[in-house]
Structure 1
Amino acid sequence: MPKAADVAATPGLRSSALSDDLSFLLARANAIALAAGNAALSEHGLKARSYSVLVLASGDARPSQRELAEFLRLDPSQVVSLVDELQSRRLVERQPDPADRRANVVVATAAGRALVAAAGEAARAAEERVHADLSTDDRETLARLLRALAFPGE
């Protein structure tokens, strides 16, 4: 991943038509944040996707794999692999869904919840570094705008 100084050294690219393309800017910002998050989570044996599944499994929602796939915008087969890996590490377990006996919900174990707490600190520190140039007001505005895009109509 190029450092900020590397990008500054290529002003021709920064001033290209892509610098006004919102989709490109979102994708580039996501790539930068994802790389920082994955680096921070690696010390806990996680990546952003597995961490996301573990966070959601640690909450009260008790999501099914299908719900995880829809919410995270991942192919269901990717979620199966993520849950399998987390389950092999005894961080989550599949439990019968009381509302639908044909489905399972994904629930974090005590070890999974403890890992979420520790990894969450690393993830938040990485986020702070990525967003260091933004004021608190700008971060709140960015979060509000991204929520509007991620969850339209809410």
Structure 2
Amino acid sequence: MPKVTRPDLAAMLVPLGRALTDAERPVLDRHGLTMWGYVVLLGLDEQPVHTQAALAKAIGADKTRIIPVLDDLQHRGLLERESDPADRRVNLVRLTRAGARLRAGAQRDIQEQERRLLADLPAADRDTFLRVLQQLAERTGSARFPG
């Protein structure tokens, strides 16, 4: 039986994911966002209008779970919800300019933090790591948000 030479992927990625999430919390706090609020704003980037159900599916959330998040973001003027003219039972969700600005600022600050984390890696390794990670995320369906 061959000797195992590295930890399993999940054993490496789960602690890294937790550390990254913990590092993002203060950044999101400075921007007045919860993690779910940020995920919703990111989820609205690819298409300007989603139904609430389609948005929930795109971000991997239960549609009832995101309703209070949508309520908060709408109350703050970061998104708009309106009835779909084709089906009044369905709400369409649209990012406002203020929501787009907030999302861009939070994402910029988070990615700056990530750049500092990756800064000690040689440029070729860093580029390869990011490219392969994006490919794996796309292959598994978890690359829902633009980089």
TM-score, normalising length: structure 2: 0.74
Conserved in 2, the CA contact under 8 Å of 1:94 and 1:106? yes
The one-letter code sitting in structure 2 at the alignment partner of 1:144 is R
Question: Alignment partner of 2:104: what SS?
Answer: helix
Distance in 2 (alpha carbons) for counterparts of 1:49 and 1:116: 12
Give the structure 2 partner of residue 122 of structure 1: 109
Q: Is the 8 A contact 1:37 1:127 kept in 2?
A: no
Partner of 1:11: none
- Structure 1 residue 67 and structure 2 residue 54: aligned? yes
1:151 to 100, 121, 138: 138
State the SS of the aligned residue for 1:76. Answer: coil
Q: Does 1:88 align with 2:75?
A: yes
Instruction: Write the letter of the residue equivalent to 1:46.
Output: L
Q: What is the deviation of 1:86?
A: 0.9
Give the root-mean-square deviation of aligned CA atoms. Answer: 2.6
Amino acid at match of 1:145: V
Q: Is the 8 A contact 1:58 1:107 kept in 2?
A: no
Counterpart of 1:56 in structure 2 is 43
- Partner of residue 105 from structure 1, selected from 53, 73, 92: 92
More helix by share: 1
* Structure 2 residue ranges without an equivalent (≥5): 142-147
How far residue 40 of structure 1 moved from its aligned partner, in angstroms, is 1.2
**Are residues 147 and 70 of structure 1, via their aligned partners in 2, closer, same or farther at CA, if it must alter by over 3 Å?**
farther
* Contact 1:41-1:119 at 8 Å conserved across structures: yes
What's 2:20 paired with?
33
| 8 Å contact from structure 1 (residues 95, 106) kept in 2 | yes
* CA–CA separation in structure 2 for the residues paired with 1:132 and 1:138: 10
Within 2, Cα distance between the matches of 1:44 and 1:150? Answer: 26
SS in 1 for 2:113: helix
Cα distance, 1:104–1:143 mapped onto 2, change above 3 Å: farther
1:35-82 deviations in Å (ceiling 9; x for gaps):
112211211111333112113325544222222222222222332222
Cα distance in 1, alignment partners of residues 30 and 80 from structure 2:
22
Instruction: Give the whole-Å Cα distance in 2 for the aligned partners of 1:90 and 1:54.
Output: 12
Q: Percent identity?
A: 35
